[in-house]
Amino acid sequence: MSAQHLKTASGASRSLARSRPRYGEVLVKAVLMLAALVSVATTVGIVFALLEPTIEFFGEVSLGEFFGSTTWGPLFNPPAFGVWPIIVATLEITLIAIVVAVPLGLAAAIYLSEYATPRVRKIFKPVLEVLAGVPTVVFGFFALTFVTPLLRDVFPFLELEAKNGLGAGLLVGVMIIPIVASLSEDSMAAVPNGLREGSYALGASKMLTSVRVVVPAAFSGIVAAIILAISRAAGETMIVAIAGGFKSVFTLYPGDEMSTMAAFIAQAGSGDASVGSIAYKTIFAVGSLLFIMTFAMNYVSARMVQKYREVYD
Amino acid sequence: MNDPRTPIPASGIAQIGVSVPNVSVRGPEVPRTIEALDPVFTVSGLSVFYGDYEAVRGVDMTIGNREITAMIGPSGCGKSTVLRCFNRMNDLIPGARAAGKILYHNEDLYGDHVDPIEVRRRIGMVFQKPNPFPKSIYDNIAYGPRVNGVKGKMDDIVEEALTKAALWDEVKDKIKQNALSLSGGQQQRLCIARAIAVKPDVILMDEPCSALDPIATTKIEDLMQELSRDYTIVIVTHNMQQAARVSDRTAFFTAEVDAEGVRHGRLVEFDETSRIFTNPSDKRTEDYITGRFG
């Protein structure tokens, strides 16, 4: 067949060049990139907004006083800037929350992914995710007006204060259960069914299959879920402000009233700290510290996930 | 009569392909089946349902002790479904149930007292796609014995299983490496070793070579021959030559549409492999093995 013949057969010679410009494609790409840039730009913006007042803060308060003292009271007269009480309170409440959320969240995830029938899963998972949508102020008042009084009645020997770290921590834990459960369930559901079949075919029970095959195979996703939950717990403000209180005395006992870093920021920010005052700059210094802590946690966990990842395909 | 333990050489198949069309055989209404002398499984009137759908209808066959039994047939004929009844793997599929009877050493496999987990400890399975756990080679083998609470020196169990699966020499220096670093063929032999490690009585293989290249396939086939000295093996395969090469008995399944227009998997013929491939008694078997359909 000659080229001549081919030409006549197709009617006319058609070039392979683009027949008309596709402006839409360029536009779509630009819009999508802009959307991706928003979150990056926000992060960068936060860092810059935090940076200047933080540097000014450390011009007035030495790093030695900030990290070397355990007396916190930037809003008092005379002010004190030993940050440890609010760091410790933040860590304590985060720890309580994790102790609550990881076992419950993981158990819920294993149930949903391995045991529940598709119908139960279809009902349960959205309900669980509704829990994530409950405003944290509701959890805060629930902790203050229900959980803490209940704990005081049932365990009087704990000598809980009206506002305390334990009640706040428990409810922060409840708040982050859906994060742990939902994300872990997603990663368990992504484990290929062939692995489960392989395990069952060796005479393993459902429980052993879940714990020894599915959970390890989904490990990286589970760790990511827990890390996200920790970050949320560490930064949680409303519950701890309402149920944990604002007293920032150095204490390791969760039954005491305690102020976390986020609670301090809320307290100082809603007060009448004038722009440029030392109290105002303290907010930014504490904010920077919280930001660094969360960022470090995310970084470490990302590395950990890389290292312990079980790739199965 | 041929010794059923002697596999037909591959060259025999080519001749069969020529000779069979000349033979005119009319299939009997009832499938021709033979009884294994020393049956491990005796299947009678087995039907398998997925919900209301009867995927396989009325299977009768026996699986002989330390024999290799092949199940062949076109896609959707229910051969894998039947295979997965032997270790009650179908129990894991919601809505699946079996009717009829499977006796395993004269014990009703679907009896009320039977624990499927106990069944699967005796009757191992190797799957179509190699499915090693994302753990080390060692932990893959040790998994079965561990979950079954086996006491004893795990190192020896692992070495023995890998040796039996003809994999030990290839992996002995990297036993702690992730099993997924192995090639596909090695992974499948690892899965066989993993099944052997729990010391089963029967090994079920569901198209074990369909994801492998010809060299790896040959290795697995050689291994099956080797293993049939100690184990009863049932293999589902799409590959007729494979069935002819490795098996002692062959069951031919096909899908048939009944009066109401519903497709069911049926056992057409079950016989010594040599007979299925040289002188099948059913026209449908003959058509299938000569490549006229399927």
> Bigger pLDDT: B203 or A276?
B203
Q: Quote the DSSP letter at residue A31.
A: H
Domain span including residue A242: 84-292
Min mean pLDDT across A158-162, A307-311, B50-54, B98-102 is at A307-311
How would residue B212 be classed by pLDDT, with cut points 50, 70 and 90? confident
Percent of residues in chain B assigned helix, strand, coil, to nearest 5: 40, 25, 35
Rounded to 5°, the CA angle B146-B151-B153 comes to: 95
For every residue of A152-177, DSSP letters joined together read: HHH-GGG---SS-HHHHHHHHHHHHH
User: How much is the pLDDT for A276?
Assistant: 83
Is A202's Cβ below 8 Å from some Cβ in B?
Answer: yes
Q: What is the mean pLDDT of residues A6-15?
A: 59
What ipTM, to 2 d.p.? Answer: 0.85
Smallest CA–CA separation between B133 and chain A, in Å? 6
Check CB contact under 8 Å for A205 and B131: no
How crowded is residue A234: how many other Cβ atoms within 10 Å of its Cβ? 21
Rounded to 5°, the CA angle A54-A60-A63 comes to: 70
Question: Is it the case that residue B4 has pLDDT exceeding 70?
Answer: no
Check CB contact under 8 Å for A202 and B132: no
Of B92, B120, B180, the CB nearest to A202: B120
Chain B residues in contact with chain A using a Cβ-Cβ cutoff of 8 Å: 87, 89, 92, 94, 117-118, 120-121, 124-125, 127, 129, 131-135, 143-144, 147-148, 180, 191, 194-195, 198
Is A195's Cβ below 8 Å from some Cβ in B?
Answer: yes
User: How much is the pLDDT for A150?
Assistant: 95
* Number of folded domains that form chain A: 1
Is A197's Cβ below 8 Å from some Cβ in B?
Answer: yes
Question: Is it the case that residue A12 has pLDDT exceeding 80?
Answer: no
Q: What is the mean pLDDT of residues B70-76?
A: 92
Chain A residues touching residue B210 (CB < 8 angstroms)? none
- Best CA proximity match to A263, nearest among A70, A133, A93: A93
Q: What is the mean pLDDT of residues A295-306?
A: 83
Check CB contact under 8 Å for B89 and A201: yes
Residues A203/A150, Cβ–Cβ less than 8 Å: no
> How far from chain centre, in Å, is Cα B289?
18
Check CB contact under 8 Å for A205 and B117: yes
Q: Does A22 reside within a domain?
A: no
Question: Is it the case that residue A11 has pLDDT exceeding 60?
Answer: no
User: How much is the pLDDT for A75?
Assistant: 85
User: How much is the pLDDT for B293?
Assistant: 65
- Best CA proximity match to B257, nearest among B246, B268, B266, B245: B266
> How far from chain centre, in Å, is Cα B231?
12
- Residue B166 sits at φ, ψ, to 5 deg, of 55, 40
How would residue B9 be classed by pLDDT, with cut points 50, 70 and 90? very low
How would residue B32 be classed by pLDDT, with cut points 50, 70 and 90? low
Residues A74/A248, Cβ–Cβ less than 8 Å: no
Q: Does A42 reside within a domain?
A: no
CATH of the domain at A184: 1.10.3720.10
How would residue B173 be classed by pLDDT, with cut points 50, 70 and 90? very high
Residue A158 half-sphere exposure, CB side, CA atoms within 13 Å?
Answer: 20
Question: Is it the case that residue A310 has pLDDT exceeding 50?
Answer: yes
Is A205's Cβ below 8 Å from some Cβ in B?
Answer: yes
User: How much is the pLDDT for A112?
Assistant: 94
| Average pLDDT of every residue of chain A | 89
Min mean pLDDT across A77-91, A136-150, A218-232, B23-37 is at B23-37
Of A194, A310, A312, the CB nearest to B127: A194
Q: Does A3 reside within a domain?
A: no
Residues B128/B183, Cβ–Cβ less than 8 Å: no
User: How much is the pLDDT for B152?
Assistant: 82
> At which residue do the structure tokens 């996200």 appear?
A228
Rounded to 5°, the CA angle A44-A49-A52 comes to: 120
Residue of A nearest to B88 (CA): A201
What is the three-class DSSP state of B131? coil
Residue A288 half-sphere exposure, CB side, CA atoms within 13 Å?
Answer: 19
Of A197, A203, A212, the CB nearest to B148: A203
* A to B CB pairs, distance under 8 Å: 74
Check CB contact under 8 Å for A201 and B124: yes
Of B94, B121, B131, the CB nearest to A198: B131
How would residue A272 be classed by pLDDT, with cut points 50, 70 and 90? confident
- Best CA proximity match to B265, nearest among B53, B36, B86: B53
A14's tokens: 């058609």
Rounded Cα gap, residues A176 and A132, in angstroms: 7
Residues A74/A282, Cβ–Cβ less than 8 Å: yes
Cis peptide bond prior to B28, omega within 30° of 0:
no
Interface of A with B in 138-167 (CB under 8 A): none
Of A200, A202, A310, the CB nearest to B194: A202
Is A207's Cβ below 8 Å from some Cβ in B?
Answer: no
Class of domain B35-289: alpha beta
Chain A residues touching residue B125 (CB < 8 angstroms)? 197, 201
Q: Does A10 reside within a domain?
A: no
Rounded Cα gap, residues A273 and A264, in angstroms: 12
Q: Where are the domains of chain B?
A: 35-289
Rounded Cα gap, residues B246 and B68, in angstroms: 7
**CB under 8 Å to A284, separation ≥6 — which residues?**
A49, A50, A52, A53, A54, A57
Check CB contact under 8 Å for A198 and B129: no
Question: Is it the case that residue A5 has pLDDT exceeding 80?
Answer: no
Q: Does A12 reside within a domain?
A: no
Q: Does A260 reside within a domain?
A: yes
Of A117, A202, A311, the CB nearest to B143: A202
Q: What is the mean pLDDT of residues B239-267?
A: 91
> Bigger pLDDT: B245 or B9?
B245
How crowded is residue B133: how many other Cβ atoms within 10 Å of its Cβ? 24
Of A194, A205, A208, the CB nearest to B131: A194
Chain A residues touching residue B194 (CB < 8 angstroms)? 198, 202
> At which residue do the structure tokens 């190699």 appear?
B130
Q: Does A62 reside within a domain?
A: no
User: How much is the pLDDT for A288?
Assistant: 95
Residue of A nearest to B197 (CA): A202
Check CB contact under 8 Å for A310 and B134: yes
Percent over 90 (pLDDT), chain B: 70
How would residue A264 be classed by pLDDT, with cut points 50, 70 and 90? very high
Question: Is it the case that residue A244 has pLDDT exceeding 70?
Answer: yes
> Bigger pLDDT: B152 or B230?
B230
Q: What is the mean pLDDT of residues A2-28?
A: 69
Is A190's Cβ below 8 Å from some Cβ in B?
Answer: no
Rounded Cα gap, residues A206 and A196, in angstroms: 9
